[in-house]
Amino acid sequence: MAFTKRPTDDSDSVHSYIHMINLIEIFLIIGGIATLILLFIIKPDFSESQKEKSKLIGVTYMTMNNDFYEIVNEQISHRIEAQGDRVVLRDPAMDASRQQTQIEEMLEMGIDALVLTPVNAASLTDTLRKAKNLGIKIVVVDTELEDPLIADATIISDNYGAGQIIGNYHLMNHPNGSKVVVMTHEEAISGRERVKGFIDTIKKDEKTEIVGELPCEGQYDLAMLNLGKFIESGKEFDGVFCLNDFSASGAASALEENDMLGIVELYGVDASPSAKRLISEGKMTASAAQFPTRLGTKAADALYDLLEKNPTERHVIVPIQLVTSRNISIFTKDRWQ
């Protein structure tokens, strides 16, 4: 019996090839799915790498219950975040001891720089020297340190000039002399400078008398309370100078309770929205305008000049401007300038 060779079937080869391709596709799909699952389970944390490279900036003002510091902080915090860095903000609420503790905690956290407005500059000297010895950059805003050499940069308004400009305006309104009450804040150098500028100026007129110096820490409640007690004492006065507009608002409440608002002249420093409204209503005489947006921007510029080792101006003074009923129309009343 003879055997014949079976001819090769080309279709079998094609089927084998297609089968092999399908298997490869299946393996690729399975491999891709497995890779995605692994990436999901064990994904690389790029944020950790970024965090390691970012700077940590500590920030503390006297208090956050004053919208002046909110405006300053907006400028600084926005810049820090735009740079991809991190910010640690603490509110000491006018408590010097608490602020010192908060700064010590920031040092333990490993901050690279510190932006601050000291509640009591003298109480922070040792802590800030410790920070400086650790290589931490220090930017002081709105007031100064007892030892200015500790700060790498200080950004302030012309605080003494603010007192002067108000004092001169008061003397112009009282050529025959007057009796004045001064609201003070001895712990803050900025407050002391404003009060000193005002008192040095009005003392040039022998007919002008300071009948009371009342502590208020620049706070609404204390200004209202202490001026109210002074009014109850029966002493006469023609004007009240407040080291900031927050305390001036408290003084305004005390005057209003005693039907003296708009009769007794009231002066402040800041030209805050509330003060500008009082001026436009004839209930406040004048305020020396600060520019918190400029202060915050210049503080942020100094901060990053220091961190990037660029030349940095150590002492920056932002000019102030007198605001009265005569020029109030050029200012926006519902927000800070």
Residue 224 has pLDDT above 50, yes or no: yes
The whole-angstrom separation of Cα 249 and Cα 224 is 8
pLDDT score, position 14: 47
Model pLDDT for residues 179-188, shown as the tens digit of each residue: 999 999 999 9
pLDDT score, position 53: 82
**Is residue 160 exposed (0-12), middle (13-18) or buried (19+ Cβ within 10 Å)?**
buried
The whole-angstrom separation of Cα 76 and Cα 59 is 9
Model pLDDT for residues 159-210, shown as the tens digit of each residue: 999 999 999 999 999 999 999 999 999 999 999 999 999 999 999 999 999 9
Confidence of residue 22 (pLDDT cuts 50, 70, 90): low
pTM to 2 decimals? 0.83
Percent of the chain's residues with pLDDT above 70? 85
Out of 42-46, 62-66, 208-212, 214-218, least confident range: 42-46
The whole-angstrom separation of Cα 106 and Cα 314 is 23
pLDDT score, position 308: 97
The whole-angstrom separation of Cα 218 and Cα 231 is 19
Average pLDDT of the residues of the chain:
90
User: Does CATH number 3.40.50.2300 belong to domain 53-157+292-318?
Assistant: yes
Model pLDDT for residues 282-326, shown as the tens digit of each residue: 999 999 999 999 999 999 999 999 999 999 999 999 999 999 999
**What value does the mean pLDDT take over residues 244-267?**
98
CATH topology of domain 159-290+324-330: Rossmann fold (3.40.50)
Identify the helix (H) or strand (E) that includes residue 279: helix 273-280
- Residues forming a β-bridge with 138: 114
First vs last Cα of the chain: how many Å apart? 114
Model pLDDT for residues 78-124, shown as the tens digit of each residue: 999 999 999 999 999 999 999 999 999 999 999 999 999 999 999 99
**What value does the mean pLDDT take over residues 266-280?**
97
Residue 40 has pLDDT above 90, yes or no: no
Residue 15 has pLDDT above 60, yes or no: no
**What value does the mean pLDDT take over residues 118-133?**
97
Other CB atoms within 10 Å distance of the CB of residue 315: 12
Domain boundaries of the chain, sorted by first residue: 53-157+292-318, 159-290+324-330
Residue 7 has pLDDT above 90, yes or no: no
**What value does the mean pLDDT take over residues 64-83?**
96
Q: Which residue has the higher pLDDT, 22 or 103?
A: 103
